[in-house]
Amino acid sequence: MRHEDRTWLTISGICGIITPIVAFTCIILAVSYYPPFSWTDNALSDLGIKDWPTATLFNAGLIISGILALVFVSGLHIFLKEKALGKSGVFLFLLAALALIAIGFFPEDLGPMHFYASVAFFLLFPISMLINATALSLSGKTKTGLFTLLAALVAASAWIIQWTVEFGPNVAIPETISAISASAWMVALSCIMIREASHSSKRQNPPDSL
């Protein structure tokens, strides 16, 4: 692996770890500033149209998280060795990151763009993880592929439960479960990417023998 690729793999891995920290910190702070928020009766996006600082925290958190996720995606492309199947999964995850940014830019009170962005985000990232699970397994990273598959299934199952049994009249709970599954996957993959960059550096630059 080239030095530039190792460096960028490390940077993108760090961004992948930071992404959910920023997102959930902002969401938790937004909820704390809006006591009437209900996990069963609200959607998370309802926070994006409340008074300051709730809306600012929520929307800015999504935008910043989406930008960090774009950096993570660029490293994921390197990690998957540019295989065709991996490229497809990476591209869909890139679109999901752009959709996350769009959710922050287009709050609920700005019309249908918010709805389209939300649907795109929660639909695209489970699909991208399913594709990436296959790509990882085919490249010999079986355990990572299985973990990716599990994360995708958890994200999808949250919405299946909502559409059948229902967590409540609104969607904050399945949104949160999906986001947690994606976050766990991003953090795990980020750690693996950082480790691979470090190991690759050691292989190409062995210590001097005594």
Per-residue pLDDT of the chain (210 residues; tens, 9 = 90+): 788 899 999 999 999 999 999 999 999 999 999 999 999 999 999 999 999 999 999 999 999 999 999 999 999 998 987 678 889 999 999 999 999 999 999 999 998 999 999 999 999 999 999 999 999 998 889 999 999 999 999 999 999 999 999 999 999 999 999 999 999 999 999 999 999 999 876 666 533 333
Determine the structural domain holding residue 42 and report its residue range: 3-202
191 falls within a domain: yes
Question: Angle at the Cα of 99 (from 74 to 37), degrees rounded to 5?
Answer: 125
131 falls within a domain: yes
pLDDT at 81: 75
35 falls within a domain: yes
210 falls within a domain: no
pLDDT at 207: 37
30 within 8 A of 57, measured Cβ to Cβ: yes
160 falls within a domain: yes
- Record the tokens describing residue 185, joined without a space: 């996957």
14 falls within a domain: yes
209 falls within a domain: no
pLDDT at 200: 78
pLDDT at 202: 66
Of 203, 180, 205, 44, the C-alpha closest to 125 is 180
Percent of the chain as helix, strand, coil, to the nearest 5: 80, 0, 20
pTM of the model: 0.93
207 falls within a domain: no
Give the chain's domain count. 1
